[in-house]
Structure 1
């Protein structure tokens, strides 16, 4: 977590705060979230994009710039992350393609606005930013133009005032992984295809604050790519995981905190009524006291946690807490005396009339009585305003109404007396907003780290702290969600750039192919978030992006195959050597020959891209054809015939799938189709069998690949930092495998 030296937050939302009606509590009502995004494009064909996003819920202006792909993958990714309710783009010829992309990716209830080009003027934009920013900023012309257009539009829509100020946050896009929209949807990272579905966010979310939950969601959609930053998070998680008492103490304090982003942004607006302002100050005082107590819990050593502790120790935290003492004590003393008198009066009524009575307070009704009854009851004449409910009678008395009126008088007197003081406290609080917002960000990070530690401790399966290197090797890994639902078969992953960066997985239907490649994506995301992963051991190669083609769903106006080709086109244009590509059964939406040809052509092209690729297919010939390339590893999900039925063992094994015609075998064993149809299918398949590829060059190519694999494997084994006995086991396994495979290749020839 990097230090922040300036204030970052800002303006007021348009929805008024509502104070809780219940006596003794002061809370801010949650406002409906609204976010506005402005997108600015380069006038040339450079695909440079500048984006400004104003999030009203947390009063934050995000400024982002990057170079995008022709299909605007990164722009769509920002839409997925920030979920804007309004999008503004310049009205010019160059944005026609962007219009189409937005139309395809925005929800129907998102407003789209075209802004005149002069609204995106960068010079005007910088001046507007200076007027509205709380902290220093530095941005390029595209971002400045987008920010200016956004603020102007928000003023026209009366969402903000010309005097509003807000936090500015610069997002360094290169520090975060890009996860494309298809992957976010297919992995159900933050939303589910069904209302009752379990998302990855819900599964790991153990945050106790709104700030922590927002940061967790962002971290899932944008994992880190800097190894040192990831290691710092993991170090903190490890310390919290091992210190149960500290973790419990921190979480017990965190759950008492309000939504500080919302509270602090309210302090920027002093136009509310006096009661709201008093409540905001009281709520500020309560939260500052909790932060002081939270700092005392942080008896920690890891760098991130120590930095958070230092921020909580800032002198202005304690100073601000003292500013609110007078009004808090005054209000508490007067109100407490009034409540004590009401308690005595209600107790006297209960004893005098032998009734089970308690009381409530409402700003409109004042104090009123609640009498629990078991049978029909006639009340004394002093009880008035009687309301009959199930097993309860609500009523009041003249004396109780007087007490309610007295409480209102007390509040009004305090409001009058403290008006100038409240104004002064507001001004002093505004001066301290930089440290307040720094505290809010620190609490978000602390809450998320506690969430990670709590999550790992709550799991029954083994979780390990991942390491990072130039290759990926994961032993006995499991699907994080599925293993909690049923007995899950663990699998290994080994992905070395020179030998196995391209993995082709075949197998019978329902054998676990799709789960296997999705499981790898989950583990990668968890590791780069700074979270332990479900495995016995894991060393992970950092990836900058994840793209996938997993779902077979087609758009309304597009066929499955056309949708499939469109997704692959976007992947081919955007992916690079640091990307992870997940492709499930490519070519299934077309005829057998066309699907096979297109699938082979695309996959062969991807072998030259140097990206990490996991693909599943029922075209076993593709595994044979591409399997001779040095970077390709062919595997299959094991299935066996048992009692005449095909049984999937959900275990990955190297090489070609031994079971043939598993589709027909499954249909036959399941007895879904009539037996005469199965017999007919068996007769028809014989002439359709592909001719085997037999030539000496294929055998020679396979032997060369085996030697190359042995060379790289020995090199990796030499540099592997692990127990010597484990190295010896790996060496013996490597030797036996090489001998078997080289003999097999020679025998084939």
Structure 2
């Protein structure tokens, strides 16, 4: 909207000047009891907030579009705008309009963005609200992640897009800021915005100067060298962290004193869980409804505090890979199991504890209300009891938590002495400070409530001293309080009475004592409110000065809460302590799916065994019909391994878990319509990621590889993938491989490390019953028609399907697959060709080809450099047809 600034009124001109400084924000401009928006901001906000659009005279021919929200309810409107991805700049009145000369001074006091909002009303207390900075420089990504509400601040570096996306998926930031190089790097930012529901913006280059970023970090943490923060190996990460810090300074207009540390980390410190695996295993949200119920977090989260809930989520998002750390967590859970009475008592004391991390954040921000301080005090009251109980335990972690828990009695005492038990909501109402805390406040409070008594007492005293029986204390708005003496007694007026007014029948006087009393009484309420505000700010600042102690205690409370939660779940759900090895052996006896068994109400969950190692049992081919439980079983194994590595007990009768550096899953797929990728393309992309990034210490869960294309192509791909994974020279990872291609069961005995398993099924005539038990051996048929019958497909269709199945069985490829597998084995035996697990970068072919094969000869003789694309496609189609005809023969 083009605006002629010269025609604007002074107030509107100031509004536009302020708006020019924050062009990417909606400007909330304080006018009296409202925050007003004008012009384009008013048009956008009225639509987003569904509030009435009006107009205001502004000096132009047409009224300026205007809308507004009341200041006392601003948070709810602010939160709605931020949730929709807007940034909001808040311009506050910086002086009392009654005292201002001319235009009231206004300044932007903070900018609220999706990643920097601190309102308790806007935040989910069980989740962190992360702001992430991403810097792309010299082929590397620097990543810095901060939660401004808790003071958490992290930094790392990664080299690939996929690692970057894994970090984004791990933290799920609500806002990303980045440099222009990242913005232009080819990363699909729109897809990122939509997939993660986040705001992304490129900042000006001044945010990303190497020297300026180093300087701001050193100044904030008050150090001379960044080596003291452990950042010397994170060159790009330092720039990301400096940019995030500068952005927080610019938006919050605050010193950010509650950000007391920055934690560098390597992605190699934790198990790598890529984006699709997090989704497939439903760790913290379900795939479809995006809800907590039905996830691993839902099962394990019996925490009592918001801090504990957030820490537990981070445990699940980042399982450990170092055995010693896993064992320390296990010991803590085990000791709490053995002392369940103390554990339950701890839970009782944890329950009243508020969110200390976010409370100290608001206190440091100077936005904490009197009620926040009472919530803080209520929490502190529990700390001595929690510390006393923790002293009873012996495990290293619980002892460390006890050592880190400061009871903060001095802060409890400060709040107890100063703040009333039921304070008002806002800090400008008065009624905050307790009687006896401050002498002047007590005097003003007494003046407000006892002023009439004081005046009556003064009147009586002066009557007695002067002997003037008609002396009265009176008041009017012009003269204030005064003594009135009738003319008949004016000769008795003492010298210290000062005349104020002469009337026909009387005279009016004042005294120094009456003036002082007048000042006290008339200004008492206003002065008391102002004084109480100052005293409250003093208490708040005194608490903010202890931020490091409070954050340390908050971490101890969160850790205690998490281990109590894990222990509680373990005892109630009959979980066992898994032994942890570094030999690569996964041995689970009667394992159960932690989520499915809890969701089941009537049916008894069927437990299953698992044995995987890096030797003869590294790849399990699992066959069986749909709906029989293959996917549940495989996810179950992955979840048990993950639970063990986060330090939890696991749902099994016995468990031995070999530490896995990564878990990869390829379970189900749907067309990615947004990017135009088919089911098969999505599937192959995920398979490619697994084959390129897995190691022999990884756990792979692969379900129905190759089903998105034709039977022959799908079988070929599945076969080749098994050969690649099973080869110790190429990969050799522990793998659960579910398939409908029963032909793949022929690979046991011909490829080292492959073992067949199937889901047991009981046949009753033409019907089947799923026993949901994993047994050795391969299924000889898919029971697809019986499953269709169970699903309610009409009998006529079932009947016809049986007829067609009978005809097709004569052309079954299983026998051909058996011949190929045997031929491969014979070739290896008689021609001394290395077995698949001994080859290096070559794979056994699916077909037993020979040098004089006519298709091979034709392919060898093609001049690809002279062929047009259409010629190449026609030739490829002709050769494929020729190959398919040979199969039919």
- TM-score of the alignment, normalized to the shorter chain, above 0.5: yes
Runs of at least 5 residues in structure 2 that lack an aligned partner in the other structure: 1-27, 29-34, 36-70, 76-117, 422-431, 437-441, 446-522, 830-834, 836-889
Q: Offset at 1:418?
A: 5.2
The 1-side partners of 2:628 and 2:253 are apart by 55
Partner of 2:267: 173
Corresponding position: 1:514 with 2:514 = no
Q: 1:290-342: CA deviations, max 9, x gaps?
A: 2122212222111111111122256xx2333333342147968659x99xxxx
**Paired residue secondary structure (1:198):** coil
Contact 1:511 1:648 in 2 (8 A): yes
Contact 2:149 2:361 in 1 (8 A): no
Evaluate the alpha carbon distance shift between residue 55 and residue 28 of structure 1 in structure 2; reply closer, same or farther with a 3 A threshold.
closer
Corresponding position: 1:663 with 2:784 = yes
Q: TM-score, normalised on structure 2? A: 0.62
Contact 1:577 1:609 in 2 (8 A): yes
Partner of 1:348: none
1:241-320 to 2 correspondences below 5 Å = 241-270=337-366, 272=367, 276=368, 278-298=370-390, 299-313=392-406, 317-320=408-411
The 1-side partners of 2:784 and 2:809 are apart by 11
Partner of 1:652: 774
Contact 2:580 2:659 in 1 (8 A): no
1:618-637 to 2 correspondences below 5 Å = 618-625=740-747, 627-637=749-759
**Paired residue secondary structure (2:594):** coil
Q: Offset at 1:114?
A: 2.2
Contact 2:742 2:814 in 1 (8 A): no
The 1-side partners of 2:167 and 2:750 are apart by 40
Corresponding position: 1:581 with 2:700 = yes
The 2-side partners of 1:630 and 1:411 are apart by 88
Partner of 2:576: 463
Partner of 2:152: 60
Partner of 1:341: none
Q: 1:404-450: CA deviations, max 9, x gaps?
A: xxxxx999877655556545444443332112111111111110101
Corresponding position: 1:127 with 2:215 = yes
Corresponding position: 1:612 with 2:730 = no
Aligned residues: 598
Runs of at least 5 residues in structure 1 that lack an aligned partner in the other structure: 1-13, 21-26, 339-408, 703-707, 709-749
Q: 1:635-682: CA deviations, max 9, x gaps?
A: 11122322332222211122222x335224544687742423421221
Select the residue among 543, 558, 570 that pairs with 1:429: 543
Select the residue among 170, 183, 202 that pairs with 1:114: 202
**Paired residue secondary structure (2:604):** coil
Corresponding position: 1:536 with 2:653 = yes
**Paired residue secondary structure (1:639):** strand
Q: Offset at 1:262?
A: 0.7
Partner of 1:685: 809
Q: Offset at 1:170?
A: 2.8
Contact 2:135 2:182 in 1 (8 A): no
Contact 2:133 2:144 in 1 (8 A): yes
The 1-side partners of 2:785 and 2:300 are apart by 40
Evaluate the alpha carbon distance shift between residue 491 and residue 413 of structure 1 in structure 2; reply closer, same or farther with a 3 A threshold.
farther
Select the residue among 284, 301, 323 that pairs with 1:190: 284
Evaluate the alpha carbon distance shift between residue 493 and residue 95 of structure 1 in structure 2; reply closer, same or farther with a 3 A threshold.
farther
1:335-734 to 2 correspondences below 5 Å = 416-417=530-531, 421-459=535-573, 461=574, 463-470=576-583, 471-484=585-598, 485=600, 486-556=603-673, 557-607=676-726, 608-625=730-747, 627-657=749-779, 659-660=780-781, 662-667=783-788, 672=794, 673-692=797-816, 693-694=818-819, 695=822, 698=825
The 2-side partners of 1:94 and 1:284 are apart by 42
- Once superposed, what is the RMSD of the aligned Cα atoms? 3.5
**Paired residue secondary structure (2:283):** coil
The 2-side partners of 1:411 and 1:617 are apart by 79
- Structure showing greater Rg: 2
Partner of 1:236: 332
Q: Offset at 1:510?
A: 1.8
Work out which structure has the larger RCO, using CA pairs closer than 8 Å and 6 or more positions apart in sequence.
Answer: 1
Q: 1:570-622: CA deviations, max 9, x gaps?
A: 22222222221111000010011111112222222222312221111111222
Evaluate the alpha carbon distance shift between residue 411 and residue 286 of structure 1 in structure 2; reply closer, same or farther with a 3 A threshold.
farther
Select the residue among 199, 208, 222 that pairs with 2:295: 199
The 2-side partners of 1:419 and 1:645 are apart by 78
